[in-house]
Each structure stands twice: as C-alpha cells, then as structure tokens.
Structure 1
Amino acid sequence: MARPRNFDPDIVVEVAMRAFWEHGYAGASFDKLVDDTGASRHGIYQEFGDKTGLLLSTLLHYEQTVLHKLTLELRGEKAALPEIRQFFQRVAKVARYDTEGAGCFMCNSHIEMEAEPQIREYTESFFQRLQRLFRRCLSQAQAQGELEPEKNITALSHYLVGLVRGISVNARSNPSAKAYDAYIEVALSVLK
C-alpha cells in the first residue's frame, strides 16, 4: 500500500523552484530540497520521479507563472515593436531587481543542464516558442510600417532570443541600472 502524501506538491514545486533558481541544479542538494520543502525524500521521489523530474516541474511552474506574465503583451493580437520594447524593459527589471541578480531561471537551467536531454528539450522548446512570438510581433511591425520591409524578421527573432539569454547572464554580474538601460537601448537599436 502506498504511503499517504504528507505535502502539497504545488508548495514543493514553488519552494524547489526558488532553491534551483538561487543555487542552480548542482548547488541545490537533495538534502537541501528536502529541508526547504518539508517533504520527505520518498515523497519527492514518488511525486516527481527524481531530482531532474522535480527540476522539470519547477521549470513548467516558472513558465506558467513568471514567464507567462512577462510575455503577456507579446501574445496580444496587435503586438509589435512597442510590446517588444516593453517586454525587454520588464525582463531587465526582473533580472536586475526581482531575482537579486540570479538572472532567468529558464536560461540558467538551459546552460547548466544542457547535457540532460529532458531539460534541454523543454528549455529549447520554450525558446522556440519565444522566437515564434518575436517573429509574429516583428511581422506585425512590418505590416504596420514600424519596421523596414527588408529587415529579416527570422534573423531578428533569433537575435531577440539571444538578447534574453544575454540579459540573464548580464544580471549575474549586477550591472547598474544605467548600464542595463544602455545595454537594452543599444541592443534594440537594430529594430529601428
């Protein structure tokens, strides 16, 4: 007979997400995850399979909560250049202030866990979806005359995904707000 669950999986995922985000996968030991979440080792294994399964659950939670809010305007029917600029201002703010310099959890996990097929597949899928969102916004910008018709929107959409990753890496070195704003302004100047 299976033991009854003595924890709320949603709380475990939220707490584990913070631990992985702050310390990385390698830095968040299983003992630390057990201590932080209050769940038993057996319970975590039973619910999530293993530490990698727990990480995958935290990435899904991160996408559904943090990233969903960040990309909300990009998903608008008429989203174009202003929404792309707003998105990057929000990403920079989150990376700079809300995460205490931890950067983007999705980006960090993508880099750290590149050799783990399950995680790599999930993070690459997210970045492909983000690239398609950017491409749609850039196409809308061209249709509205905000972006020159000869601009290669596929190349620009890949560039913007790279910029998201760059912001995450940059956040870890704690740049000043002024330096960050300049970085974003120069990076987005290709959209003029």
Structure 2
Amino acid sequence: MGPGKELVDMSARPREFKDTAVIDAAMEVFWEHGFEGSSTEKLCERTGLGRGSLYNAFGSKQALYEKALERYQELGIEIQVDVLEQPGPVKDRLRALMVWGIDQDFDGAKRRGCLSINAAIERGVKDAEVARLVGGHVGRLEQALCHVIAVGQRSGEITSKRPALELSRSFLSSFYGLRVLGKIVEDRRVLEDIVEGTLAAL
C-alpha cells in the first residue's frame, strides 16, 4: 500500500465516524418526535451541530430524515435476519422474531414503536422516497421469511401447502400489525396470543 492510499484512508475515517454519529443522533430525534415534530432546534441540540453545519453536511431536514431511516433499517434488518438464521426449529425462529418485536415495543416508557412503520404512516403516502425506503426494507425481510418458511415446508414443520411467498406475506402482516399494536396495547399477553395464533396458522 502506497503512502497516498494510506493518507486517504486515515483522513476518511474521522468524517465517516462523525457522520454516523450525527445520523444516529438524528435518528433518535425522528424516532421520538416524527418528521413533522422534529424541529431544526431539536436536531441541532441532539447532534451537537449548528444549523449551518447540519444542513451543509446533509442538505436539508428531508435528506437527513432519509439518511436516518436508512440507518435504522440497516441496523434493523441485520438483527432480524440474524434471528431468522439461528439454528433450531423454524417455528422457534419465527416466534423469536415476533418476540423480538414485542421486546422492542415494550422497552422503556417511550413506546416509540418501529421507526419504519412510523415513517410509512406519517409520510408514506405523500413522500415517494420514504415509501421506497420502507418498501425496500419490507422486501428484504419478506425474502428472508420466504426462505425460512420454505425450509420449514421441506422439513414438514410447516404443514400449510400454500406457497411460501404467500405465507411469508401473511406472516409479515401479523408481524407489522403486532408492531403497531405494540404502541398502544398495555397487556403483553395480547401480543403473545397473536404470536401463537400466527404460528398455529402455519
């Protein structure tokens, strides 16, 4: 490796780290307050950047929101796929994914729900880029679910003869419905019943 290459790599790391930290901080603001409720003042306070620096770096509040949503989805899909790819019975893995969602929604007093779902509800109809980002995330989870369900059908653990893709979409409907209910339902057992009913249908 020549000295020029080494210099480029070393100088790139601090900016990349800084941007990630800013995006993570902004993600928390958008997650707590939504797009409309996240003022520039709140974003500057949480990220530690002035208004000029914030918009020089990202261009606009909308662009920062999209970066934050991408970051949330990048972290979330990695965790979700990891859960589905764990060894063990297929239904246990599917249950683990739904329980993970419940745990997320019952974590602390904020009850923020899923940022992707929040974004879809708040901006999906009027913001084509947000709709594209959320749709891409859902598509990646659908693919992972379809693979796992197909494995379960081949092993005989999943007895439904419906196409794996159809079953994965039905599961997705329950999973995301669970996440929406997780923001308002106080009794965790209600959501656990949904988990068991969803799995029983497979």
Q: Which residue of 2 aligns with 1:162?
A: 173
Which residues of 2 match residues 32-111 of structure 1 at below 5 A? 32-75=42-85, 80-97=90-107, 100-111=110-121
Q: Cα offset for 1:176?
A: 1.3
When residues 50 and 99 of structure 1 are mapped into structure 2, their CA distance, relative to the original with a 3 A threshold, is farther
Tell me, yes or no, if the aligned pair for 1:16 and 1:58 is still in contact at 8 Å.
yes
Once structures 1 and 2 are overlaid, which stretch shifts more, 43-52 or 133-142?
Answer: 43-52
Deviates further, 172-181 or 103-112: 172-181
Secondary structure of 1:172's counterpart equals: coil
> Which has more radius of gyration?
2
Paired residues, number: 186
* Correspondence for 2:188: 177
Q: CA deviation at 1:75?
A: 3.8
How far apart, in 2, do the equivalents of 1:82 and 1:164 lie? Answer: 15
Which of 134, 139, 148 is the aligned partner of 2:145?
Answer: 134
Measure the CA separation in 2 of the matches of 1:143 and 1:156.
14
**Deviation digits for residues 16-56 of structure 1 (CA, Å, limit 9, x no counterpart):** 11111111111111221112211122222222221121111
Tell me, in whole angstroms, the C-alpha distance in 2 between the residues paired with 1:95 and 1:146: 29
Q: Take 1:168 and 1:154, find their aligned partners in 2: how far apart are those partners?
A: 21
Which secondary structure state, in structure 1, belongs to the residue aligned with residue 52 of structure 2? helix
The range that moved more, 98-107 or 137-146, is 98-107
Measured in 2, the distance between the counterparts of 1:161 and 1:52 equals 28
1:78 positional shift: 7.9
Match of 1:120 in 2: 131
Q: Deviations over 1:56-101 (max 9, x none)?
A: 1112221232442233132458883221111111111111225731
Using the size of structure 1 for normalisation, the TM-score is 0.87
Which 4+ residue blocks in structure 1 deviate beyond 3 angstroms? 75-79
Give the CA deviation at 1:9: 1.8
**Conserved 8 A contact 2:77-2:137:** no
What amino acid sits opposite 1:51 in the alignment?
K
**C-alpha separation in 2, matches of 1:138 and 1:99:** 34
Gaps (5+ residues) in structure 2?
Answer: 1-14
Output the CA distance in 1 between the equivalents of 2:121 and 2:64: 17
